[in-house]
Each structure stands twice: as structure tokens, then as C-alpha cells.
Structure 1
Amino acid sequence: MIARSHVTLEDVAQVASVSLATASRVLNGTTNVREDLRERVLAAATDLDYTPNVHAQALAGAALRTVGVVCHDLGDPYFAAVVRGVLRAADRNGLLVLLTDTFRDPDKEIAAVSTLRSQRASVILLAGSAFEDRAWERALAAELEPYRRGGGQVAVLGRHRNLKADSVRPENRAGAKALADALLGLGHRRFAVLTGPRTMTTVLDRITGFAEGLAGAGIELSERDVFEGAFSRDGGHAAATELVAAKHRATCVFAVNDQMALGAMTALREAGHSIPGDVSVAGFGDIPVARDLGPALTTVALPLEELGEQALELALSGGRGGRSRVRRVAGEVVLRESTARTRRRR
């Protein structure tokens, strides 16, 4: 039994047997919801004595303009740095920032956007990868297009294929290709890739770019060279553990983000491998801790705080002509002590 004083929107959605996004749309007054679903949600809310967050609703009606940031993982130093940039730009513009963490759950992302619409946020920023999911794309567009038509401003960080929104796009594909070129320049010819879920556009772009760089040297990246885990430190640890168990002969391991690289380095050491003596390791993003590791992490450096600042400034600067604007941000390969020159093996 759910305690009445702790009833959440998730509880309402569960009792009504609908998604979090649907429950949010019903309770926020959105009209494009099937009548049978609407009735189930309202009945569940009544039975559970659900009360919306009055403080949040008060903020929505206040004179102070707000920007809602929908973030994939606030515990990830990558996103923490991006959000610092948003906060800095918001402070300059007199904006209050509302943060929400989706934990990389597509349904939670839709629900967060719906809630921010209902609170009449002046700006909505999506700080995280898109998903290769047409149903998610349609649901997100159904929330954001009416919001934009009503005067709301939207910006996204990353490549969102079919979304009409201004975007700041890190050059993930080009950066990964440049990293492959640099690692090839150190003499490496046997590679493994530790990847997050390939349902995310950021992951796909980085794998594709890295494979293109290797292909330019006549090296094919096969499925046997790719080990998938969660897009996190623990995911990198699990993927590297799998790599070790498979007795992969890579001289260099590329993790598609720095958090995965951190976990991979721990797993490789636990298996008795020295870095970079036995195997080199590289990441992507240049989170603040990357340069302080022992050994410091080779990576593709992105100006993380600047990404957040640019996304908010882009949204605030207008874009009323109906055309989405794109700002591309290049990464820079930074070779550090986690990678070393290797002798070619027969």
C-alpha cells in the first residue's frame, strides 16, 4: 500500500497501468490523450489522493523566467560540467534553472518535458543523447512542437535527427575518427571498443567515427571487437571484464566515454594488466577527473561548460523563422599517459 503523504506521479502511472508520460499529460491538462487512458489516470489520482507539487506550480506562474534542463545523468561528471555552463548563462540572463534527471530513461524524458510545458518554462534544454527510437521521437515531438508554437524556446545538446529544435552538436563522429588516427600513429593495430547501448545517437556516432578512422588504415572493426555495457563507470568495468574473459588481444581499448574508460582501467588492473604497459586505454569527453588519474586519460576533449552555455544562449537568441539552427563544436584529441607507443606484433 502506498502511503498517502508520499504519492508520486510514478505511483499514479503504475496504478493506472499507463506510462509516466501519459499520466503527466493527463494531469497537466494536455488534450491529446485517449479518453479511456484519461479516465484511468484521473481515477487512479483520485483513489491515491494524489496532490501535484504546489511549489513547482507556483514557480510556473511567477514572473521569474525559468529554464528547464532535462539531463540524462546528473551524477556523470560530463553532464555536471554541462549543467554548470547552463547555470552560468542562466545567471547572466536572470533565469531560474529547474533540473531533472531522467537516468537515461526515454519515458522519463517525455514526462519531464510534459511537466516543464505545464509549468510554462520559458526554455527547455535537452542535455543528452537522442535515442534511435521512432516512437520516442514522435512522443517528444508531440510535446515540443505545441510548446514551440506557443512561444517556448527549445535547444538540444547532441544530434536529434527528426526534432525541430536548435542544437549544439559536439563533433562526436569526427572526434572519434581523429582519435583513431592518433592511436594508429602510436603503432596500434589491434583495437577493442567498449560501448554504451547502441540505441543512443552519441554512441553510434562515436563508434562509427572510430571505425572509419581504422578503416582508413585498412583495419576492420568487427563485432568481436565491440563489448557493450551501460553508458557509465560500472558499464565500462563490466565491458572490460568481458573483454578480459574473451582473451581479446587488443593493444588499445577505446571506451566511448570517459566514465566507461575509468571503469575499464580498474577492471584491467584487477585482471593483472598494466596501463599502458600491457594495454593502452582512451576515452571521450575529457571530464575534469580525466587528467588527474594515474595514468592520466587519453581522450577527446570537449569544452563541456561551453556546451551548456551555448545551448542556453542559442535558445534565448530567438530562432523564430521556423528553421532549426545548429552550432557544431569540435573536439580535440589529447594524448596522455594512459596510451603509449607500441611495437607491432605478428
Structure 2
Amino acid sequence: MADGGPQSRRSTPATLHDVAREAGVSLATASRSLNGSARKVNEEYRDRVLAAAAKLAYTPNLSAQAVARGTSTTVALLVADIADPYFSSIAAGVVGAAGDDRLIVTMAETKRDAERELELVRAMRGQRPRVMILSGSRIIGDPNAVALEAELTAYEQTGGRAVFISESDLPFRTLPLANRAGARDLAVELQSLGYRRFAALTGPESLRTAHDRIAGFSEGLAASGGLLPDDRLVRSAFTRDGGYDGMRRLLEAGIGDTQVVFALNDVMAMGAMSAIRDAGLEPGRDLAVAGFDDIPTVRDVTPRLTSVRMPLERIGEQALRLALDDEADAASARAASADVSTEVVIRESTPRLGA
């Protein structure tokens, strides 16, 4: 029988001790070479360790490392809806930044359910991630807030770091987003284009993001004497289908002299445009539409969608950097100075009136 070499004769997985012995280095040097230690290892020793690990088909025991360190090399990212380009863009930023620090990202979907979010945080605590990022909008008056705070406090006491994206009342590192300011700027820009009569498609009243965006939009209108009538504010799911349903209800009730519809995110806006077409009207010609977030897709729809640009990938990057800052004061400074400002992008879905 042919000799398959040391790897084929081995009946049990190679250990770190085996790698150190094969490389002729100490156990500590082997560990630092393979596990991303902050302490620098002599390049020759590191090459010997890597060669030995490859020869022995060594695989690190990540669970054991997590127990020993108190944390693992993973980043846990919670998103509301993985199919929503808003969250996939944030995830891309987190993944890119994590790669720079040799961290691995795991992701779970909360489905905008506060109770499910709490259950996921509990489950992820057991995996000892180094960082936990909660990217979904907060729920106003969330009955699970006290329990969530307790879970995250216990998680941080074991060495982890929790970060919220968007506004949060909980005492953890938070990367605030300019939802209110961006919507306010959009209202001002639309009025400068000649629009005076508005409707809006928004999410559930308890959703903090929806609350902040509609409040900012109303403020922007009021600054020039404009108004968003209550009977032109339709609440629906914060999704493409929610936008379609909300727009359909608005059309069935009669849009009257409404000139432009503000959908509180881009996927709702795209659903709204489909409903407008199904009603025999043309978006941008018969009824203008604007969204929020400026996800990549809106540049390819017809007409191209006016939106409020949020630097979503940069937001993901900044959230991870915020978590990795060792000092709370440094983290607070990073959050305060983070460049996550918004920009109104006018496109063909809101042409200048009278042009």
C-alpha cells in the first residue's frame, strides 16, 4: 500500500501542540502566528508555523478559542430584512471592514420583530461574538427594551461590544443617522422644484426611522408654509409590497390635487411606482415620487428615482470601527464625528414643475 504521508496516517485532527512541534517553535509563537495576535511574530517563525499547519491540515478550534478569550473572531450583525438593499449595503460595509481586522461576519434577520431580535441576541451571546451590531430601526415604546438592555449588558460584561445603528435610548455605543435632517432637506428641495401638494407613504407609527423621517419631512414643508394633510399620510409595511399597497389605497381614496408622493424608503417608492402604473398613470409625469436611502437599484428604474442618499456601506464600516474603539470616550468621539450625512439627489421621478 502506498505511503500517503503523515497527513493520511493521522487518525485524529492535528492540535496546536502538533503544529508547534512540527515547526520547531514554542506553543505561544504558534498560537500568535495562527490566531491573529496583536503581538508581532518573527516572519521566519510565522512562515514555518503556516507551513506546518498546512502540512498537518490543522484547523483552529474556534469554540475553544472563544472560551479561552471570552470572545471569538466573529461579528454578529442583526438586520431587519436581508432582502432589502438598505441592509445588504450596510452589511457589505461591515464585511469589508471586518476583513481588514481578520474578523468573520455572521448575520441574522429580525424581520422587524422586537421579540425575535431579543431571542437572536440571546442566542448569539452563546457564540461569544467579539462585536454585535444591531442595524434595524428601534421600536418606540418597545416592551422588550428592558430585557434587551439586560442581555446586552451581560454580553458586554464578558468582553463583547454592542453597537446600534440609528437612534437608540439604550446605554450602548450608537451611530446616529440623519433620518430627520435628510427628510427635512428633501421637503425643501421638492418645494424649490415647484411642488406644493404632498402625500406620504410611511411605515408603522412605532418604527423610530419612520417617525423621524416623517417628522423631518413635515418640518421641511412647514418652514415654507407647506403642509402634509393627515388624509394624505398612509401607513403600510416598510417594504416594496407595503409601498404598493399604500399607494393603491391612496389612489382608491382619490389623490385629488396631490402632486408628489414621498415614500419613506426606496423599496416602498418602487412599489408605489408599480401601483401608479397599474392604475394607468405614469410616475414622474402624472404623479411625482420620491424615496429615501438611494439604494443602487433606484438609478436603474424608469423614471430614475429622486431620493435621499445615505452612505450605507460607510455606515456599516463606521459601526464596526465604533465597536472596536477600546475607549468609551474615543467611541463617543467617533460617533459624533462620523461622516454619515445625507444628500438629496434629484432625478426624473420629480421633474421641475412648469419646465
TM-score (norm 2): 0.77
**Partner Cα distance (1:62, 1:281) in 2:** 54
Trace 1:75-154 onto structure 2 (pairs within 5 A): 75-154=83-162
Trace 1:11-26 onto structure 2 (pairs within 5 A): none
**Partner Cα distance (1:56, 1:338) in 2:** 51
Cα separation, partners in 2 of 1:58 and 1:225, compared to 1, 3 Å: farther
Matched, 1:197 2:208: no
**Higher RCO (CA < 8 A, seq sep 6+):** 1
| Residue type at the aligned position of 2:197 | R
| Residue type at the aligned position of 1:251 | Q
| Residue type at the aligned position of 2:158 | G
Task: Name the structure 1 match of 2:31.
Answer: none
1:92-119 deviation line (CA, Å, top 9, x unaligned): 0011111101111111100111111111
| Residue type at the aligned position of 1:156 | F
Task: Name the structure 2 match of 1:290.
Answer: 298
| Residue type at the aligned position of 1:168 | L
Cα separation, partners in 2 of 1:151 and 1:59, compared to 1, 3 Å: closer
1:105-164 deviation line (CA, Å, top 9, x unaligned): 11110011111111111110001100112422212101111222332111111011x211
Shift, 1:319, TM fit: 3.3
- Flag structure 2 segments of 5+ consecutive residues without an equivalent: 1-60
3-state DSSP class of the match of 1:135? coil
Matched, 1:342 2:350: no
Trace 1:1-346 onto structure 2 (pairs within 5 A): 61=67, 64-160=72-168, 162-249=169-256, 250-320=258-328, 326-327=335-336, 329-343=340-354
The question of whether the paired residues in 1 share the 8 Å contact of 2:129 and 2:160 is answered with yes
Task: Name the structure 2 match of 1:14.
Answer: none
Which portions of structure 1, spanning 4 or more consecutive aligned residues, are displaced by more than 6 angstroms?
Answer: 55-59
**Partner Cα distance (2:195, 2:98) in 1:** 44
| Residue type at the aligned position of 2:342 | G
| Residue type at the aligned position of 1:233 | R
Task: Name the structure 2 match of 1:35.
Answer: none
3-state DSSP class of the match of 2:146? helix
Shift, 1:295, TM fit: 0.8
Taking only aligned residues, the RMSD between alpha carbons, in angstroms, comes to: 2.1
Number of residue pairs aligned between Structure 1 and Structure 2: 289
The question of whether the paired residues in 2 share the 8 Å contact of 1:231 and 1:257 is answered with yes
**Partner Cα distance (2:77, 2:94) in 1:** 9
**Partner Cα distance (2:237, 2:158) in 1:** 37
